[in-house]
Structure 1
Amino acid sequence: MLIICVGKTHAQKKNIRQPKWWKEAVVYQIYPRSFKDSDGDGIGDLKGIISKLDYLKSLGIDAVWLNPIFSSPNDDNGYDISDYRSIMKEFGTMKDFDALLKGLHQRNIKLVLDMVLNHSSDEHEWFKQAKQSRTNPYHNYYHWWPEEKGKPTPRYSFFDVNNDAWKYDAITKSYYLHYFSQKQPDLNWENEKLRNEIYNMMKFWLDKGIDGLRMDAFQYVSKDTTWKKYPEGYEKNIINYYGMGPNLHHYLKEMNKEVMSKYNVMTVAEGAGSTLEDAHALVDEDRHELNMAYHFEIMDIGNDPKGYLLTDLKKAFTKWETSFADKGWLAVFLANHDVPRMVSKYGNDSPEFRQASSKLLTTLIMTMRGTPFYFNGDELGMSNIKFDQIEDYRDIATINAHKNAVLKKKNLKTFMAKQQFISRDNTRTPFQWDNTANAGFSSGTPWIKVNPNYKSVNAFAEEKDPNSVLTYFKRIVAFRKETPTLMYGNYQAYDLENPDVYCYTRTDEKESLLVLLNFSSKEINYHIDQKINTTAAAPAINNYTESPSKKNNNIKLMPWQAVVYKLNKH
């Protein structure tokens, strides 16, 4: 048995438990394109979100994180921004945005915007100017390699068909850098003028009253502009080479001083470097940079369709929790717009176990210390759509990876099977509102197909069902909000080598909670560690209608059962 216990001094406890709204919030992520369409064009929009504000309020969530809503040609679904100060026409107008912000605030829900700051669209006015000549003042807003220096040092691109991050421009006779698609040129943060443009843009939105910033791919913004050659195969561990560049902390401290320190906002950057030390350097309070780490180690577990080891998941959660016990703060999540559906990746999305495993995963997120980030639709137990034709996909990452597989004559059957599990489009299908046409998402043809299971998995049906995934989500969110122990209490993991059950306690001076999660599709007779006094244990949360049978410290857990017990502190 491995027990990890985190001890604290009084000063450390006071530091980690210093109340902040963003520590206590439950953040609900909305993918605007797929949430609700108000005008029948098949694309979700701001008025659609506005029409569902009372639904959001009913969830009990405290903040909404919106994926990018800025003007964009949509090469990468809004992550290629052509104007940072205007709204994408498909999504609506600035007037709609103002109405959305007002409606959220009237319901005591805060708004966090997704800022794409590593790159812009190639249709942004800055890049249009940059391509006119090398002497254009905007040319230095991007990274260029002049052709007279020969071929640029190779750099890997995530979305390019050939994975080549350099694109030749005939007008300026030079190559521009794009870590992502060719239509997403990387911004040159070495340029102080560019940085000031970004800071002023951020102030524009913060002055409107938004409550937080999530910064996309921000750990990539600082480049090693010596462009040294990287070793063969570096792309397999690319964060070590692309992340946490030489000037990243300088930029963040400058951004904090110029912008973020002047507002009471949540600030979280996508990614947290490749080590615990990197993450702390980004978010520890005395660093004066960001206030929350959004790391990917847990998300990297379970990417194989064959499955994953629960022991790996437990050890990853425990490692990060232990490191952040006294300093810094974490985002806690199992899904977002870039990964498969939570229940399909970490649970069991078969009809028999979809509901129970969805509830169990929600229990895990809501009983960890850190700020829960929860992706829209997971509160219904939405699952992967599993497209079997490349024509059904809309994600540039999948489409270009397929082109690459064709060029390299890879096994396309194997490729498609992997995409059915891992493609980002699995999590981007329309929100399932009811059992009417197109799941009530749109009166027109949706931009991407609706999951056929919407007739049984939908908000309308689940709101009326006291045992639904949705009802359970609302209950455990309410429980978390009335239980400070879950927000700030100590975490202690037990029995980390157990392949089926995740067992941990959350404890503070006032109360102690025991969390038991059966990550298997079988009944488990589990022996609770004798160090945990379960004599007066009372179930507070249970994803089954009946409490598990318990005798002394032995408990019978049903498949995918999640139970939270209140323990006798004495």
Structure 2
Amino acid sequence: MDTKKSETSQSSPRTERHFINRDPQDEETSDCPLLTPSPPPGETPDPLKTTTMFNPLEGTPLEMTPTPTLNNLNSEDGLKAFMSIVNSNNIKLTNDEPSSRDPMVESSSSEDSTTKEPVCTQLLTQLNTAYQHLAPDAQAIFYNQDNGGKLDNGIQLVVPKPPKDYKFSKWNWPKIRQSCFILTVSFFIAITLTAIRGILTLPTRCEAQTEWWQGKIFYEIFPASFQDSLKGSDGIGDIRGITMRIDYLKNMGVKAIRLNSIFSSTHYPEQYENINSLTRISDNLGTIEDFDNLVDSLHKNNMTLIIDIPSYPFIESFKIGIDMKRKKNFLLNNIIDDDDENYINKRIKRQNINDKMNKLLSSLFDINEPMTDKLISSNYVDSDSHDNELTSALNYWVKKNVDGFYLKGLEEYVEDSEFVNYLNEWRHTVKRPKILMCHWKTYQMANDLVKSSIVKTMDLLDATIVVSNGTRDIKRQIDQVIKSSLFSIDTIRPWIHWSVGGIDMSRMTSTLQVKNATSAAMIMEMMLPGTSNIFYGDEIGMVDCECEDHRDLLHVHNLPPMSWDLINNSGEKFSSHGVMPWLPNTGQPVLTNIKDAVKKMAHLRQTISTIVVDSAFKHGHSVANCDVRFADDELIVIERSYPRLNTYVMVANFSNRTIAKDFSSLYYEGHIVVGPEIKINQSVYFKELAILPGEAFVIKLKK
């Protein structure tokens, strides 16, 4: 044992010497022992020439071989010896070419030497050289003892700033984190609430955005025959009576009422056409205060008021006032100066002007009539006013909050050279949302220039359909309107105001082949694209007055008093008991099985966009979204469609017999939404569709 210890102690200096005297290349290679290349095959390494980390003693087991150490590394000699190794390695790296230090770049000489070695040896050798750049860094571990403990190129020390020197480190970070959390949560809560609100407020159906006069239900009233109020109770309807019936109109779905002639005439209501003022209400209808109350009541119920203003033939009398004004100006302009010697004997003295004007006025009016009444009855406009009489009347009623005006008789002036200027003047007086309307014939008879002006100035065009000439003629009248150039206009244009009854025509019930088809005609009208008009009493099937004692009043036989007692069997009367109406009541209206269908249709057309709108874009241009698909044998089929919405079909029978028809080539199936009460919501197959006389129903088709 002692012998082994002595041998170990004797071998220790040699081991240290072997470690110190190792070749620098071997030191570099040993940076990664696993990458040390193996000797070439067939070559036996000389143990005396091979530098190893340690040499085990002969006969000593491997596990008993002690690990060599440099005990004198802390001594001056040991440190110098280690630094000599590092410096020699550094000099070698400095003198070598860059390519010799780059494992990825090889010189031609290295290629010659490595081609003789195995590929694995070459790969490991190249990888081993990648660690050579670590040797110069070892200088930073030790100080040069010969230079007073300083490095040759010096060491730059960077001392980082402590955290407390940064301003943001002094911020109140707990508060900041809390605020950020609250803001984030609030943001997500706001988004969630907004989304919930948007979902809850989404419309349940697609409603078209239209103006108050577009696609709505108008109700036309002849005031003298609608309702006699208790105040007057003279057998003539009045404005107070209309105010009393606003609830009835509202429940029927009416959005605007249109009053026919309300102006003073020579004998109202029998001679209502012979008016003598455009600004005075007939005394039989009430006062201007009654009119103001009616306007206020309608507006409170979200309804509007339209009045008819007859421009023809009443406007013909305007020429009298115009001629009178021209003659007066002529006389005043031709007064000869007193200094003119040539005409000194022919001059007209100023004092004679009044005499001549009196003679002129007396030739136009009754000399015994007061001058004030003369000017009022002729709608005379003062010479200082530059507005025409119709413009002055419009301006007056606009100030009374009237919402619209039907200028009747304008078709008589389409060839007038000043007609376009008049239209622009009236439009300037009646500003939107107040409306102007005229008859369809005005547009139809006008030239292109006048048509363009009508499109810009008018809001509604009244198209009247005569239903007594058969379904083929009905189709012709409808196509004449919906296939006109009006519906091809993509910009703002007037809508059509459809009428199947009115003050200028006989009652439908008195002219139709089937007396109970009045409701069917009204349902057909409401299926057309535009605004619908109901003439008072047509909703209950009123007929013309057959008055043997009033044959001189044939022109007003279509204006009998309203039969209020026939509405829901209420027992109400047109006037007070014991008071005879100005025109006898009509007979019993014809019964129909679709009596309530008109009211349902009025509400339906205001909620279904397919029926409310009047046109749709097809193939890049605007067309009417309406088509008469069938019109023959007193049977008519009208279709209303709109992209991505349900199609609605109206079928009406105007004959006096039941018709069974096969429409399977057009449609397949749907269900009834308007029609006889017993058929509502029933499924309908168009293979064999049976329709009773005077019956009509609206069918909603499946998409």
> TM-score range, shorter-chain basis?
0.5 to 0.7
Cα deviation, residue 562, structure 1: 0.8
Equivalent residue runs for 1:72-471 within 5 Å: 72-74=265-267, 77-120=271-314, 135-136=327-328, 171=363, 195-220=387-412, 222=413, 244-256=415-427, 258-260=428-430, 262-273=431-442, 276=444, 278=446, 287-296=455-464, 298-299=465-466, 302=468, 308-323=469-484, 324-327=486-489, 328=493, 329-346=495-512, 348-349=514-515, 354=516, 357-387=517-547, 389=548, 391-393=549-551, 395=553, 398=554, 424-434=555-565, 439-443=573-577, 444-453=579-588, 469=595, 471=596
Match of 2:641 among 507, 510, 513: 507
Q: TM-score, structure 2 length as denominator?
A: 0.55
Cα deviation, residue 335, structure 1: 0.5
The number of residue pairs the alignment matches comes to 431
Q: Deviations over 1:265-320 (max 9, x none)?
A: 221113523x7463987676884221222235x34x64xxxxx2321111211221
Cα deviation, residue 107, structure 1: 1.0
1:368 to 1:294, Cα distance in 2 relative to 1, 3 A: same
Kindly indicate whether residue 270 of structure 2 is the aligned counterpart of residue 44 of structure 1.
Answer: no
1:53 to 1:77, Cα distance in 2 relative to 1, 3 A: farther
Give the stretch that moved more between structures: 71-80 or 196-205: 71-80
Letter in 1 for 2:488: D
Does the 8 Å CA contact 1:430/1:441 hold for their aligned counterparts? no
Cα deviation, residue 551, structure 1: 4.3
Structure 2 counterpart of 1:157: none
Letter in 2 for 1:523: T
Equivalent residue runs for 1:507-546 within 5 Å: 507-509=641-643, 510-528=645-663, 530=665, 532-535=666-669, 537-543=670-676, 545-546=678-679
Cα deviation, residue 248, structure 1: 2.4
Structure 2 counterpart of 1:71: 264
Distance 1:252 1:44 in 2: 33
Cα deviation, residue 432, structure 1: 0.5
Match of 1:485 among 579, 586, 610: 610
Distance 1:137 1:113 in 2: 35
Distance 2:314 2:243 in 1: 28
Distance 1:131 1:447 in 2: 39
Match of 2:630 among 491, 495, 511: 495
Cα deviation, residue 476, structure 1: 1.0
Cα deviation, residue 99, structure 1: 0.5
Structure 1 counterpart of 2:202: none
Does the 8 Å CA contact 2:594/2:677 hold for their aligned counterparts? no
Distance 2:261 2:225 in 1: 12
1:285 to 1:18, Cα distance in 2 relative to 1, 3 A: farther
Does the 8 Å CA contact 1:285/1:291 hold for their aligned counterparts? no
The answer for unaligned runs of 5 or more in structure 2 is 1-207, 332-360, 366-376, 616-624
Letter in 2 for 1:215: L
Distance 1:203 1:99 in 2: 19
Distance 1:138 1:72 in 2: 32
Letter in 1 for 2:506: P
Distance 1:525 1:138 in 2: 75
Letter in 2 for 1:259: T
Partner secondary structure for residue 288 of structure 1: helix
Partner secondary structure for residue 481 of structure 1: coil
1:172 to 1:539, Cα distance in 2 relative to 1, 3 A: closer
Cα deviation, residue 259, structure 1: 1.1
Q: CA RMSD in A?
A: 3.7
Kindly indicate whether residue 226 of structure 2 is the aligned counterpart of residue 35 of structure 1.
Answer: yes
Cα deviation, residue 333, structure 1: 0.8
Letter in 2 for 1:270: H
Distance 1:87 1:278 in 2: 32
Partner secondary structure for residue 372 of structure 1: strand
Distance 1:377 1:200 in 2: 33
Structure 2 counterpart of 1:567: 701
Partner secondary structure for residue 503 of structure 1: strand
Letter in 2 for 1:432: S
Cα deviation, residue 451, structure 1: 0.9
Q: Greater share of helix residues, 1 or 2?
A: 2
Q: Deviations over 1:412-443 (max 9, x none)?
A: xxxxxxxxxxxx42320000111699943344
1:468 to 1:441, Cα distance in 2 relative to 1, 3 A: farther
Letter in 2 for 1:450: N
Letter in 2 for 1:568: K
Distance 2:689 2:563 in 1: 36
Letter in 1 for 2:261: P
Structure 2 counterpart of 1:164: none
Does the 8 Å CA contact 1:276/1:320 hold for their aligned counterparts? no
Cα deviation, residue 384, structure 1: 2.0
Cα deviation, residue 545, structure 1: 2.7
Does the 8 Å CA contact 2:276/2:379 hold for their aligned counterparts? no
Cα deviation, residue 559, structure 1: 1.3
Partner secondary structure for residue 604 of structure 2: helix
Q: Deviations over 1:531-555 (max 9, x none)?
A: x3323x1111113633689545321
Cα deviation, residue 109, structure 1: 1.0
1:195 to 1:493, Cα distance in 2 relative to 1, 3 A: same
Partner secondary structure for residue 24 of structure 1: coil
Structure 2 counterpart of 1:553: 687
Does the 8 Å CA contact 1:70/1:86 hold for their aligned counterparts? yes
Does the 8 Å CA contact 1:282/1:293 hold for their aligned counterparts? no
Identity %: 22
Partner secondary structure for residue 451 of structure 1: coil
Does the 8 Å CA contact 1:343/1:381 hold for their aligned counterparts? yes
Q: TM-score, structure 1 length as denominator?
A: 0.67
1:121 to 1:446, Cα distance in 2 relative to 1, 3 A: farther
Cα deviation, residue 483, structure 1: 1.0
Partner secondary structure for residue 483 of structure 2: helix
Does the 8 Å CA contact 1:525/1:556 hold for their aligned counterparts? yes
Partner secondary structure for residue 274 of structure 2: coil
1:392 to 1:121, Cα distance in 2 relative to 1, 3 A: farther
